Chains A and B, each alone.
Chain A
Amino acid sequence: MEISSFVLFWAAIFTSNILLTNFLGMCSYLSVSKEVESSFGLGMAVFFVLTATSALNWIVYHKILVPAGLVYLQFIVFIIVIAAFVQLLELIIERYAPALYYTLGIFLPLITVNCAIFGVSLFLVIRNYSFGQSVAFGAGSGIGWLLAILMLAGIRKRMKEKLVPLGLQGAGIALIITGIMALAFIGFSGIVNVQ
């Protein structure tokens, strides 16, 4: 499977969007998308963490777990790497960039349990990506997630004054909007095939 990192980056944003076609990161997507500003903050945080942890987890998996024969521990090790990285990032941002901390920092604890981060790490292993491909896929997925949550937040802002059937309010209507967005993204499929 030889697919260039550049193509993979774009494919991760459009044809195999992490949220709209792989359904990862739905929990925080549905709960945070009420405001555009906070969606942007969370999206940027996801993008940074996703790019960094996909690189870290690739190194940990191929340089430590495989040689040591501990592949079956991958789930626990990945989670620990992600949690440790998020904690570290939080400390660094708080110490050196307080302004950034106020826009981004509050979302960092939410990220450890965001399944998009963990899911991408698992995808890299299952699809056997090289290091360059992994970083490209991680960064592309992060931007794809940011794009999806920004679109939903924008639509939900407009939806505030609209009348929605009672039982559908909140999560229900957000899921339907996401479905329509996913339908639109099917238009991109077939340009490249990432498996």
Chain B
Amino acid sequence: MTKKEIFLVSAFRENSVWKQILGICSSLAVTNLLMNSLIMGLGVIFSVALANFTISLIRNWTPRSVRMMVQTLIIGSYVIIVDIFLKANMPQISKQLGPYVGLIITNCILMGRAEAFAAKNNPLDSFIDGLGAGIGYTLVLLAIASVRELFGFGTFFGFQVLGSWWTKWSIMVMAPSAFFILALFIWIINNKYYKVKA
């Protein structure tokens, strides 16, 4: 596969969220505001791309029996970097994201890509695969967040879009709407792009 194909497959055709139903926790929890989703997405892109690269770099020297533990520790180190960076530079957003930054470690996407791709391929390809998976995830996050923020707050990235006549839908800020919108999103994507077998 060429580099471009690797990227496209991992970002769209085999998208972690809508195709493999991985990483749902954070994609539901942080999507009430677009800004939070974007920061969360960038954090995931950073950790999954670099973790994939590192895991692939040492794949020939990692004993199979402790493979999972090594992968978790590598992922954990990058997530700690993201967390410290956010705490130092964006304390407000870091506070809002709360535990969900740390939860990138147990995000199934990272483990899934490490196991499915980085453990078998060369570092550069793994890096691109990780980049694709992270970007695919971020796009889903932004799509869900744009609906929730628009209807819930009447804003778009914090800018007032809908005027004062708009009645805010408080359901969009609360938990259930996240489930409904993700389900509708998966439904639309399935119907449009995948030929579902009867």
Residues of A within 8 A of B (CB): 20-27, 30-31, 72-76, 79, 83, 113-115, 118-119, 122-123, 126, 165-173, 175-176, 178-180, 182-183, 186
Contact = CB atoms under 8 A, between A and B. Distances in A.
A166 B198 contact: yes
B99 A26 contact: no
A115 B83 CA distance: 17
B187 A165 contact: yes
B183 A172 contact: yes
Residue of A20, A30, A167, A175 most packed against chain B (CB within 10 A): A175
B79 A179 contact: no
Given A23-B28, A122-B102, A166 B190 contact: yes
A182 B176 CA distance: 5
Contacts of B98: 122, 126
Given A24-B25, A27-B108, A122-B102, A167 B76 contact: no
B186 A118 contact: no
A166 B196 contact: yes
A17 to B, nearest CB: 9
Interface string B65-83: 0000100110011011001
B80 A167 contact: no
The 7 A-B pairs with the shortest beta carbon distances in the complex, nearest first, are: A179-B179, A167-B190, A122-B99, A175-B183, A26-B24, A115-B106, A182-B176
Contacts of A76: 73, 76-77, 80
Given A24-B103, A76-B80, A179 B21 contact: no
Contacts of A27: 21-25, 108
B107 interface: yes
Given A75-B76, A76-B80, A173 B183 contact: yes
Contact of A167 (B29, B105, B107, B186): B186
A176 B25 CA distance: 15
B25 A26 contact: yes
B93 interface: no
Contacts of B24: 23, 26-27, 30
A25 B102 CA distance: 14
